Amino acid sequence: MKRIAILTSGGDGPGLNACIRAVTRTALKQGAEVFGVRRGYTGLVQNAIFQLESRDVGGILGKGGTILGTARCPEFKDIKVRRTALRHLNQQGIEGLVVVGGNGSLTGAVVLHEMDFPTIGIPASIDNDIDKTDIAVGVDTTLNTILEAVDRIKDTASSHQRAFLVEVMGRNCGYLALQSGLAGGAELILVPEIPGPSLEEIAQEVVDTYVRGKGHCIMLIAEGWQPGTRAVEEYLLSRQGELGFDVRVTVLGYLQRGGRPSVFDRTLGTRMGAAAAEALLSGQSGQMTALKAGQIIFVPLAEAVQQLKPLSRNLLKLVELMD
């Protein structure tokens, strides 16, 4: 294999550039040519493919986001659209593809593999919802971003005797809320995988926190938890006089996706990128890089995208112990 390409797809996050840099330089060192695809699968369909040299990926290791750009491409589910993408790859003489992204992006890689085009996946999702790997690229930086915000919010909450609802990303997976809530000493953590508590029970937790003499009440809420942050806010405000605390809401939003990647994410992206390039050039396909017990291994892409990664039972038990 003499020509490979790399794309970043789906939601962005810290550490993607480390993957791009590692794939590019590893492949170049082995005598292959490397091409970048702009805006993920959309770039494949639009033939936005260009050659990458070593100098093109210099100085990007510490930058957030992705120099290739990213986008969601729901039309890639159409077989005609995928054939157009493969046509563009073949016209450029590209023989293999590294896909960096979350579950949807990696599912696209599975489909290309099933169409006999060699693909290797790298898990990159700040939600840490990709199965078969201990952690995905971008998670560590995002957790530290959230924790810094929680620590700052706790300072002002204590000064004013306030209860804060802090909403973090996690439409289907509550890992960010669970892990940052544990590390941040939150009084309550609400995740989509665990139903409840009721609005009345949440209000009672705020009251109990006040009665215990605490100067603040911090709640971490994953965006996918139902009935949602707004419902909790409205209910607590309707009972404001009983709570003891004033109620405030902070939605961290896209702040969680940006920023300079941590040492861990730069290293993980580099390790996974190098391993992905080596695997692709050696003829492997349909595999995903994964971190298991500190080691980079490969797992079948089809297995990795079968289900979302479940929350750690050990973390859930630890949260209960700290309550």
Task: Give the Cβ contact number of residue 286 at 10 Å.
Answer: 18
Summarised one tens digit per residue, pLDDT across range 284-301 is 999 999 999 999 999 999
Residues annotated as part of the active site:
127
Residue 91 pLDDT grade (very low, low, confident, very high; cuts 50, 70, 90): very high
Q: Is the pTM of this model over 0.85?
A: yes
Residue 70 pLDDT grade (very low, low, confident, very high; cuts 50, 70, 90): very high
Summarised one tens digit per residue, pLDDT across range 251-285 is 999 999 999 999 999 999 999 999 999 999 999 99
Residue boundaries of the structural domains of the chain: 3-138+261-307, 140-257
Say whether domain 3-138+261-307 belongs to CATH 3.40.50.450.
yes
Residue 13 has pLDDT above 90, yes or no: yes
Average pLDDT rounded to a whole number, residues 102-112: 96
Residue 149 pLDDT grade (very low, low, confident, very high; cuts 50, 70, 90): very high
Summarised one tens digit per residue, pLDDT across range 191-225 is 999 998 999 999 999 999 999 999 999 999 999 99
Q: Which two tokens stand for residue 82?
A: 């995928």
Residue 95 pLDDT grade (very low, low, confident, very high; cuts 50, 70, 90): very high
Summarised one tens digit per residue, pLDDT across range 39-58 is 999 999 999 999 999 999 99
Residue 323 has pLDDT above 80, yes or no: no
Give the DSSP H or E segment for 88: helix 79-91
Q: What is the pLDDT of residue 125?
A: 97
Query: Which distant-in-sequence residues (6+ apart) come within 8 Å of 260 by Cβ?
Result: 14, 62, 63, 64, 141
Q: Is 281 helix (H, G, I), strand (E, B) or coil?
A: helix
Nearest Cα neighbor of 39 from 6, 68, 12 is 68
Write the CATH number of the domain with boundaries 140-257: 3.40.50.460
Residue 313 has pLDDT above 90, yes or no: no
Residue 300 vs residue 315, higher pLDDT? 300
Q: What is the pLDDT of residue 268?
A: 98
Q: Chain-wide mean pLDDT for the chain?
A: 96
Q: What is the pLDDT of residue 322?
A: 86
Residue 237 has pLDDT above 90, yes or no: yes
**How far apart are alpha carbons 21 and 4 in whole angstroms?**
14
Quote the strand ranges of the chain, DSSP E.
Answer: 3-8, 33-37, 49-52, 96-101, 119-123, 162-168, 188-190, 216-222, 246-251, 287-292, 295-300
Domain 3-138+261-307 shares a fold with domain 140-257: yes
Q: What is the pLDDT of residue 157?
A: 96
Give the DSSP H or E segment for 239: none
